[in-house]
Amino acid sequence: MIKIERKKLRKLSKTTNPFLSLARSIIYQQISTKAGDSIYKKFSDLFKGKTPTPEILIKISESKLRAAGLSSQKSKYLHDLSRKFLNKTIDPSGFDRMSDEEIREHLIQVKGIGMWTADMFLIFALNRKNVLPTGDLGIRKGFMRAFNLRKLPDHSKMVKLARAFNGKHTELSLHLWFLLDGK
């Protein structure tokens, strides 16, 4: 059994702006943190000091989003996110009453949001306590290191190894990421 040093884990704080948290997640998908930071700054500059909202973002043209460094695909994803917030397909007012699985199903209605993004939102924006994002490469590598595995584990192997941490999968996830980067 591995020992988790809670004091070394990243501290989480619940989002006050689910829309912005999801937009940020889309922006940072599949790029380095450094590139994400640069693009996010340019994206934020489009709002001229105002907080990005679905009402404002939907009016920003794809060409302006592309000029900020977003791909055509991510620009479309952000517009879809805005539309789904505006028409209440995505309604964060119910998140506190929804299970993790219900939130995942709710979020993946947005183009560009899959299980990985939904899991990251559950952990980092909603601070849910029992999320194990087995689709994350860092988690798989963390399992390999923590449990001295010879190869990257598949979903079922990770679920089996994580049973001892049921109810605290998020804490385990934070520990596994910590093992890889020491932060």
Q: CA separation (Å) from 161 to 73, 131, 156, 165? A: 36, 14, 9, 9
Yes or no: say if 173 and 131 are a contact pair by the CB < 8 Å rule.
yes
Alpha carbon 170 to its chain's center: 13
Q: How far is CA 77 from CA 8, 59, 136, 137, 152, in A?
A: 35, 14, 21, 23, 31
Q: Are 159 and 132 in contact (CB under 8 A)?
A: yes
96 is catalytic: no
Distance, first Cα to last Cα, the chain? 22
Domains and their CATH numbers in the chain: 18-124 (1.10.340.30), 132-181 (no CATH)
- Residues 90-117 pLDDT 10s: 999 999 999 999 999 999 999 999 999 9
Q: What is the pLDDT of residue 182?
A: 64
Give average pLDDT by consecutive 10-residue segment, the chain, 183 residues.
85 95 94 92 95 96 96 97 98 96 97 95 97 95 96 97 96 94 65
Q: Which of 80, 119, 136, 154 is catalytic?
A: 136
